[in-house]
Amino acid sequence: MQCPVRNVEHAEILLDYCSGKLGPESLASFEAHLAGCPECKEFCVRQKAAWTVLDVWEAEPVSEKFDAALYARIEAFENRNWWRRFAWRPALSLGAACAAVAIALFVHAPVNRPKAPASVHETTRVETVEPEQLERTLEDLEMLKQLSPSNAQNL
- Say if residue 126 is exposed, middle or buried (CB neighbours under 10 Å; 0-12, 13-18, 19+): exposed
| More confident of the two residues 101 and 7 | 101
- Give the distance, in angstroms, between the CA of residue 53 and the centroid of all CA atoms in the same chain: 45
Predicted confidence (pLDDT) per residue in 7-57, tens digit: 878 788 888 888 888 888 888 888 888 899 898 889 888 988 988 898 898
Q: C-alpha distances in angstroms, 67 versus 62, 64, 75? A: 9, 7, 12
Look at the chain and report how many structural domains it folds into: 2
38-56 vs 24-36: helix axis angle to the nearest 10?
120
In a domain? residue 48: yes
In a domain? residue 2: no
77 and 99 in a common domain: yes
pLDDT at 73: 92
Domain that holds residue 76: 66-107
